[in-house]
Structure 1
Amino acid sequence: MEFVLLDFADVPHLQRFLFGLFLLIYIIILMGNGIIFLITKLDPGLQTPMYFFLGNFSLLEICYVSVTLPRMLTSLWTQRRTISLVACATQMCFILTLGATECFLLAVMAYDRYVAICSPLQYPLVMNYRVCIQLVASSWISGIPIQIGQTCQIFSLPFCGSNLLNHFFCDIPPILKLACGDTFLNEMLVFTVAALFVLVPFLLILVSYGKIISTVLKLPSATSRGKAFSTCSSHLMVVALFFGSGLVTYLRPKTQGSAGTDKVLSLFYTIVTPVFNPMIYSLRNKDVMMALRQWPSKHLSSLKK
């Protein structure tokens, strides 16, 4: 009826240090992504499709990391690592659904850059407000039914052996390792869903950036080429971090994985990406940096009025 999340139980002398480290990381994620979300919603100069998608992406990162880190912090502080079967299934369902949303949203952001660079005259017409809302809503909603079904299918398996889950949250690979009997069909379903929600968006992103690079290289001005590449490089860095670890985790054969490798890879797509997201997008984006510098003075002046 319950699992024991071992997380970092193999290093008992580091529990307090890890608690402080991950608490600091969680605060940085909440503050960094929260500021990006607020800036893109409140600053008049950032009311464009690109920043609309970036604001949604920052909100998604806050939701994504909040599914795993608070529970991990609690277990590090209290040393109570048990999690009920229902709570474990709920956590997995949220992780999978939000992960699918991130894949789709990154693909939407790549499509936005493709239209902006390859068809600049048609950009206002193609990426109008209604289309942006539809793309974002589809990204948030489309994965829900399939991921609920996949979670139910995984937790319908019999668990008759050890209940020690050598991970820091309820992810698919460590759960399948604890299941009794033949899990081949389950692994094939995981592979199929991962191909649909991870590989397909990743390939769409590659196609979009292939066309973007081809168009940029044809630009006559070196300044124009540099500006176009700078607006895309931030997105590509986040794509590489998130998809690189996600593809290896879910499309790798079960026999080739180890608990340590799974933990490291999952840290990348659940914690590292949300940490670096605000840094990558703010430090490499002049518009965001300008808005961040001007926002406190604008806020204070509005309060005085």
Structure 2
Amino acid sequence: MQPLETRGHLLTEQVNSNSLNLDQLSAIELVELFNCEDAKTITAIADAKLSLAEAIDRTALSLRQGGRLFYVGAGTSGRLGVLDAAECPPTFCTPPDLVQGIIAGGASALVRSSEGLEDRADDGAAAIAHHHITQLDVVVGIAAGGTTPYVHGALRAARQRGATTIFIACVPIEQVSADVDVNIRLLVGAEVVAGSTRLKAGTVTKLALNILSTSVMVKLGKVYGNRMIDVAVTNQKLHDRALGILQDLTDLSREEAGFLLERSGRSVKLALLMHWTGLEKAESDRLLADHQGNLRQAVSSHGA
């Protein structure tokens, strides 16, 4: 990790030559500039595809074996990790402890700036101990500039416990190294406002987390085709979505789909298995369990 006094050379701290006259631009010119700069996030994801794919495979393997996924960060990076973790239960019906976000300063840091806490490496290590990280778990450290002591402290502690470690940063490895299993570097260049990594760096990090968590859930059987068959039916919008999925994938009317959904205990995945195999709920539950929740494998094994 780079000492504080030498961080000025980092890619995320550089001055963007395309925005030197930022304070003189009209509103439409500002939009055009941001749009042009934000386009670089797509290229950065493409350039990091191999490391992202490795992170997906490693994480899916760990979770399949009973592990958990943790995001660790401070400031914007921490908030993005917490956001991605919070969206997994409603989207994929995962238990709240399967994907968790750890942010320097705790819950209050989500709405109030607490960036001073990011300099405490020991706090990062303590968070790993607090969550009882084991060799089955995956810890993703997120630090746009790559130097956040809190994140590095957490990653070191996680590695000592045998966990799989992944690092996401927006600076080249030669600027900031990290002793981890998977290094994901999202190089979007200097920010429109120099050093403001909530901009392109934040955007590309959100893209990467979307890809990581969603792809892992796909590999865990949470998706059939491109339908979120493990959606948690917890409000009217999600209830309508569940019925729509059932109707799209079967020949059922809305009323019939609703009846089947209730018989299944409001599980789209179970409802589909019951419909396609003719099995009742208890039998379908057992068949799904035999195939680790993978609907396609369960249906295939039954010959449906």
State the TM-score bracket (shorter-chain normalisation).
under 0.3
Larger RCO (CA within 8 A; separation ≥ 6): 1
Scaled by the length of structure 2, the TM-score of the pair is 0.26
Kindly indicate which of the two structures has a greater share of residues assigned to strand. 2
Scaled by the length of structure 1, the TM-score of the pair is 0.26
Kindly indicate which of the two structures has a greater share of residues assigned to helix. 1
